[in-house]
A and B are shown apart, each in its own frame.
Chain A
Amino acid sequence: MASFAPRRRFDARGLVIPALIVAGWYVVSESGVGNGYVFVTYDRIWATFAAMVADGTLVASIVGTVLRMAAGFAIGAGFGLLLGLATGLSDLAGRVVSPTFHAVRQIAIFAWMPLLTAWLGIGGQTMIALIALGAFYPMVINVEAGCRNVPGPYLEVGRVLELSRWQTIRRIVLPAAAPAIFAGLELGLATAWLSTIGAEYFIAAGDGLGIILSASRMRGSMDGVIVGIVFIGLVGFAINRLLAVIARRAFAWRGEAAR
C-alpha cells in the first residue's frame, strides 16, 4: 500500500520533470515548431479555462463526475464487500462463487458496454454500472484474501478464549482483514476512477470531466482537452489524498512504524 507511506517532506527535485514539460510546451507552442492544433498556447488554454469557469461548465463537470463516481463506487464497493466477506468467511460460498467470479473477472470492464447499453440504455445508468464494476472486482479479491489470511496465532487466541464464531469474526477476523479491505477500497477507487472517465468519454451523457474531453475533441479544441486532463488529474489526486488521511486515522493501532 504505497500511498500509505509516511508523508515525506517536500522535495523540490520532484518538480524538475513537471517544470521541463511546462517549459517545453511553452517553447513548442509559442515558437510554432510544433503542430499548432495539438500544441495550443497557454494563452488559449487559459482563455478556455476562464470561459469554462465563467459559464459554469467546469464546476458542473467536476460535481457531475464526483457524484457519478461516488454512486458507482458505493454500489460496486458495497456489493464487493458483501461478496468478499461471504467468500472469505464461508468455505461453501467460496467454493460455489469463486470459479464463476474469476472467470467473469477476465472480461475487460469496457467489454460489458454493448450489453450494458442494451440493458440500461446509453446514459447515466450504464456509466454508473461501469464504475461499479471497476470498484467491485478489486474489492471482492482483497476482502476475501484479507479474511482468509488472518494469522493463525490470533485465531488460536480466539479459540482459547472460547469466542463464538461471530465474536471471532468481529473481534479478530475483520480487524485483521481491515488493512486488506482498505487496500481493496483504494484499488477499487483507482479503477472506479478510470472507469468513470472512460464511461463519461464513451457515453458522454450529462456533465462530467470525461465529457469535456470527448466534447472538446469533437469540436477539435485541444485547449478544452488539456483543461479536462488537468482537472481529471487534480480530482484524482484529491480523492487519493483523502483516502490516505482516512487510512491514517483508521489504523492508529499499527503505530508510527507501519504508516
Chain B
Amino acid sequence: MALAARVAEPEPALAVQRVSRVFRTADGAVPALSDVSVGVAPGAFVSLVGPSGCGKSTLLRLLAGLDVPDDGEVLFEGVPITGPSLSRGMLFQDHRLLPWLSVADNIGLGLHKQGLDAEGRRHRVQELIDLVGLNGFERAYPYQLSGGMSQRAAIARSLAPRPRALLLDEPLGALDSLTRAKMQTELLRIWEHEGITMLLVTHDVEEAVYLSDRVVVMLPRPGRIAATVDIDLPRPRHRGDPGFARIKAEILGWLGADGL
C-alpha cells in the first residue's frame, strides 16, 4: 500500500497542518484550501499534482510566507512561518527575473545577507552560473534569454542564498518537452548536489513520478488532498519501467483521469 505509509518519519522540514484558506471575491467565497495537511521530510523531494484551481499555488505561497492561512498552521523546521525567508527559496512559474538586471545581477540579488564581500559575491554568482550552465550569458538581459535559460537563471537566483528548502511552482510548465526533460534531470542533479528539501508543484504526473519521493494528489472545489503516494522506485528512474507506469496510472486514477 503506497498510500501515506505511516512509517516513523523525522520531523518534517515543511509542515502544513489543517490549513484552510478562503478567498473572498466579488462572486463569493472561493475555498482555495480546505483542511489541508502535508509534511515534507528534510531533504525529500515531494510533488503536488492536481488540476488547475485546486490550491497548489496557494499552498506554496503559504509556505513561502507570501500569504497567511485563515485556519491551521504552516511550519518550517517546526517553527511557524510568519513571512518570507531566504532559507525558503521560491521559484515562480513565470521566472520573474527582473528585466532591468543582467543575469548575473539577478542571480546575485539575494546574496545580501550571506556576509560576502564583492569578490565573494562574484564568486558565488559564477558558481551558480556554472551549476545551471549559463556560462557566457552573465551579462545578458532577461529579454535575450530563451524560456529554458530564463528558468535556469531563476533557479540559480533562488539557490544563491543557500536555502534549506525550495518551493517550485510549475517551474517547467511553459517549456517544450525536450527542454523540460533536460531541466528535470538538471533539477535532480541540483537536488542531489545541494541536499535541499524540494516541494514541486506540477500538473504533469509523469514529471512528478520521475522526480519525487512522494506525490501528493490534490483535487479542487474545495482544494483538498485526495491521496499521498510514496514512490519507492530506485533512482535513476526510467519512464518506461512497468513500476513507473503502475504508479503513474495510480495517480491518474486519483485524479479521475485514468481513462486518458
Contacts and interface: CB of A to CB of B under 8 A. Distances in A.
A99 interface: no
B94 interface: yes
A171 B110 CA distance: 11
Please classify the interface of chain A as helix (H, G, I), strand (E, B), loop, or mixed, using the class held by over half of its residues: helix
B113 interface: yes
B143 A171 contact: no
Contacts of B90: 160
Interface stretch (B25-33, B68-76, B95-103, B174-182): B95-103
A153 B96 contact: yes
A254 B100 CA distance: 7
Contacts, number: 59
Interface residues of B, number: 26
B66 A159 contact: yes
Contacts of A43: none
Contact of A159 (B84, B98, B109, B157): B84
B223 interface: no
Interface in B79-96: 83-86, 89-90, 92, 94, 96
B100 A161 contact: no
Contact of B109 (A161, A252, A253): A161
A154 B98 contact: yes
A214 to B, nearest CB: 46
A255 interface: yes
B64 interface: yes
A161 B108 CA distance: 10
B92 A153 contact: yes
B202 to A, nearest CB: 20
A255 B85 contact: no
Interface of A: 153-154, 156-157, 159-163, 167, 171-172, 175-176, 178, 252-255, 257
Interface of B: 64-66, 83-86, 89-90, 92, 94, 96, 98-101, 109-110, 112-113, 141-144, 157, 161
